[in-house]
Each structure stands twice: as C-alpha cells, then as structure tokens.
A = this chain, B = another copy of it.
Amino acid sequence: RSGKMAKSTQLIDNEVFRAYATYTAIVLLKMMLMSLITAYYRMTRKAFVNPEDTASFGKGDSAKKYLRTDPDVERVRRGHLNDLENIVPFVGIGLLYALSGPELSTALLHFRIFTGARILHTFAYLIPLPQPGRGLSWAVGYAVTFSMAYKVLKTVFLL
C-alpha cells in the first residue's frame, strides 16, 4: 500500500505541479461560477428557454411569456462560452507545460497572469467595461497560453 501511495503522490509533491493544480482549480471554479450567475439572471429576469422550467408560473400563455431571451442572460452565457474556449486550452497546455520542467518562478508568472486576466475578463464582460478592457484581458490570457504551448513544443517535439 504505502509503496503504491508513494508513487501516486510524487507528482503532487512537485512544486510546479502544485502551482498548476492551484491555479487550474481556481480558474475552473471561476468558470463554474458562470453557471450560477446564468441561473441567477434567468430567475430574476424571468427568462427561460425550456418550457418545463416555466411550469411553476402556471400553464399556457401565462407561462409561455417567460420563454424568452434576456440581454443580461445572453451576456453571461457569452462570457461562459468564452471561458470554455480559453480555459480548456489553458488546462490542457498548462498540464503539459507543468510537466515540461519549467522554473517554478516562470511557471507561477504564467499561471498568475492567466488567472488574473480571466478574472478581469469576467468583470469586463459582466459590468460591462468599455473596450478595449475585455479585449485586452482576453489577449493577455491568450498570449500566456501561447507562451506555454511554445515551451511545451520546444521540449517534447515528437511528430
């Protein structure tokens, strides 16, 4: 048992991997928060998409009027989709990057900037801030992921 556990925990003992785990958990929790914000707006704005979700408002036309789109709901959903489009590459490339043996300080810099940029992006999208606020925060996260991918490909290139 202990031999098997020792093997299984060695990755988690590595400092760069622990940094990756910390920031990946934070950024995925941030993405999950978008579901709650969408649900909050759907309920406060009374804007639903599935007929079964409006059944508690009665039957027929009295319920049907809540099957509609709402600008605030759609805005959160766009932010959520943008998270998926950008956080999925970070999680995948970040794992490979963490295993490619970077310096801890360099790795922390990448993870911290990405996480900060995505949190800023969410605020910029939901408030909303005037452009180029959202555009810049998106571009910073994108550049960090690109930089990690470059390091990965330089290290492991095997076509």
Spell out A's residues near B (CB within 8 Å). Answer: 4-5, 7-19, 21-22, 24-26, 28-29, 31-32, 34-35, 49-50, 52-53, 55-56, 75, 78, 80-81, 84-89, 91-93, 95-96, 99-101, 128-131, 134, 142, 145-146, 149, 152-153, 155-159
Copies of this chain assembled into the complex: 3
Q: Hey, which chain B residues are within 8 Å of A87, CB to CB?
A: 88
Closest to A80 in B: B85
Complex: how many Å from CA A10 to CA B50?
46
Q: Hey, which chain B residues are within 8 Å of A19, CB to CB?
A: 158
Contacting pair B146 A8 (CB below 8 A): no
Complex: how many Å from CA A118 to CA B89?
16
Q: Hey, which chain B residues are within 8 Å of A134, CB to CB?
A: 50, 52
Contacting pair A9 B52 (CB below 8 A): no
Query: Which residue of B52, B131, B146, B152 is within 8 Å of A131 (Cβ)?
Result: B52
Contacting pair A18 B92 (CB below 8 A): no
Q: A4-B14, A158-B15 are in contact. Are A49 and B28 (CB under 8 A)?
A: no
